[in-house]
C-alpha cells in the first residue's frame, strides 16, 4: 500500500481519520498512523489493513466492557484460581479447580458451595471463580451474607423490596461470602431464601460458609426456610468441603520463625 504523502493522499488520510473519530472509533483513529506505516512496510493488502484497524477498536471495546464488569462485580481481592495453593487445602484438586475455571458450570445454572473453617481459602476461591466468570464475559456480583441481609432489610423498610430482588437476581453469577460468620437478623432467612428462589435453575450462586449444611437452620434461625433453601441450592451443585490449617496463622508462624532466626539464630520450635 502506497502511503506517500501527496495532496490527494493527505486528504484521504484526514478524511479517514475524521470518519473514525465521528463514529467514535477513537482507538482506531489514534492507531491509524502507525498501522498505515506498518501496512506500507509489510505490504498488507487493503483487506488486511482494514482488519487490523478494526481489531484495535474491537480490542479496546472488549477491554472497556471487561473493566465495567469488574467494577460491577465488587470483588474483594484480585485473587485468581491459578494462584490458589493446593498444598494447604484438603478437599479440592487441580483438575477440579481447572474445570471450575472453565465456567461451564455457570451455563447449566449450577451452584458451588465452599464449606470449611476460617482461613482455608474459601474467599480466595470464591473471588477467583468470580474473576474467571467476569473474564469469560459473565455478569458477576460479590457480596457478604451480612451485607445482603442488611441491604434487603433496608429495602423492605423503604418499600424497595421488589427492585432489590431484581438487583440480586440479575447477575449471571452471585457470590455470597461468609454465611455463618456473623449473627444474622431474623429477616435474613427470608431475604436469602427469596434471592436463592428467584435464581433457582436460572443462574448460579457461589456460597462460602464455615458451617456444615446441617447447621444452617441454626444460622438462619428457621429450620424450615433453611431446608427449602438447601433443597434449591443442592439440586444442581458442586460442594467442596475444605480443610487444613489457617493460612493466616501459618503466615503468622512463618513470620515469627523468620524473626526469631534473624534475632537469635535459634529455630522457633527449640525456643521455650
Q: Which three cell numbers stand for residue 106?
A: 455457570
| 235 CB neighbour count, 10 Å cutoff | 12
Q: Band of the pLDDT at 265, cuts 50, 70, 90?
A: low
**Locate cell 520463625: which residue?**
257
Contact in structure between 180 and 214 (CB atoms under 8 Å): no
Place of cell 458451617: 211
CA 130 – CA 269 distance, rounded (Å):
40
Q: Which CA distances in Å does 183 have to 5, 113, 197, 269?
A: 73, 20, 22, 38
Q: Which three cell numbers stand for residue 107?
A: 451455563
Task: Name the more confident of 87 and 234.
Answer: 234
Residue-range domain boundaries for the chain = 7-68, 81-249
Q: Which residues of 201-231 are buried (b: 16+ CB within 10 A; e: fewer)?
A: eebbbbbbbbeebeebbebbebeebbeebbe
pTM score = 0.81
What is the rounded distance in angstroms from the CA atom of residue 253 to the CA atom of residue 269?
10
Q: What is the fold, at CATH topology level, of the domain defined by 81-249?
A: Rossmann fold (3.40.50)
Question: pLDDT tens for residues 123-133?
Answer: 999 999 999 99
The model's pLDDT over 192-241, given as tens digits with 9 standing for 90+, comes to: 999 999 999 999 999 999 999 999 999 899 999 999 999 999 999 999 99
β-sheet with 204-209: strand ranges across:
140-144, 173-179, 204-209, 111-115, 237-241
- Average pLDDT of span 174-183: 92
Q: Are the C-beta atoms of residues 198 and 204 closer than 8 Å to each other? A: no
pLDDT score for 244: 62
Return the bridge partners of 177, or none.
144
Quick one: which of 85, 174, 181, 156 has its CA closest to 124? 85
pLDDT level of residue 136 (50, 70, 90 thresholds):
very high
Residue 35 has pLDDT above 80, yes or no: yes
d(CA 15, CA 9): 10
The pLDDT score that the predictor gives to residue 91 is 77
Q: How far apart are CA 128 and CA 63, in angstroms?
A: 19
pLDDT of residue 256: 42
**pLDDT grade, residue 6 (50/70/90)?**
low
SS3 255: helix
Using only the alpha carbons of the chain, give its radius of gyration: 26
Which pLDDT band, with edges at 50, 70 and 90, does 257 fall under? very low
Average pLDDT over the chain, rounded to an integer: 88
Q: Which residue has the cell 484495535?
A: 56
Q: Region 42-49: what's the mean pLDDT?
A: 93
Amino acid at each position: 500500500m502506497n502511503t506517500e504523502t501527496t495532496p490527494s493522499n493527505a486528504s484521504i488520510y484526514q478524511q479517514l481519520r475524521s470518519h473514525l473519530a465521528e463514529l467514535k472509533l477513537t482507538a482506531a483513529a489514534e492507531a491509524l498512523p502507525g498501522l498505515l506505516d506498518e501496512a506500507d512496510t509489510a505490504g498488507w493488502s487493503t483487506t488486511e489493513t482494514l482488519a487490523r484497524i478494526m481489531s484495535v477498536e474491537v480490542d479496546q471495546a472488549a477491554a472497556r466492557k471487561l473493566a465495567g464488569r469488574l467494577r460491577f462485580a465488587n470483588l474483594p481481592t484480585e485473587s485468581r484460581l491459578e494462584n490458589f495453593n493446593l498444598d494447604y487445602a484438603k478437599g479440592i484438586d487441580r483438575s477440579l479447580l481447572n474445570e471450575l475455571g472453565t465456567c461451564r458450570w455457570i451455563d447449566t445454572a449450577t451452584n458451588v458451595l465452599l464449606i470449611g473453617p476460617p482461613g482455608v481459602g474459601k474467599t480466595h476461591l470464591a473471588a477467583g471463580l468470580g474473576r474467571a466468570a467476569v473474564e469469560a464475559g459473565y455478569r458477576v456480583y460479590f457480596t457478604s451474607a451480612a451485607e445482603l441481609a442488611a441491604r434487603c432489610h433496608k429495602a423492605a423498610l423503604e418499600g424497595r423490596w421488589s427492585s432489590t430482588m431484581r438487583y440480586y437476581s440479575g447477575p449471571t453469577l452471585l457470590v455470597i461470602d461468609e454465611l455463618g460468620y456473623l449473627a444474622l437478623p431474623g429477616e435474613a432467612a427470608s431475604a436469602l431464601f427469596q434471592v436463592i428462589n428467584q435464581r433457582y435453575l436460572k443462574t448460579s450462586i457461589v456460597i462460602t460458609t464455615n458451617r456444615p449444611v446441617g447447621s444452617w437452620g441454626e444460622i438462619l434461625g428457621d429450620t424450615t426456610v433453611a431446608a427449602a433453601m438447601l433443597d434449591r441450592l443442592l439440586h444442581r451443585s458442586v460442594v467442596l468441603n475444605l480443610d487444613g490449617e489457617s493460612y493466616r496463622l501459618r503466615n503468622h508462624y512463618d513470620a515469627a520463625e523468620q524473626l526469631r532466626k534473624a534475632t537469635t539464630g535459634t529455630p522457633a520450635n527449640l525456643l521455650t
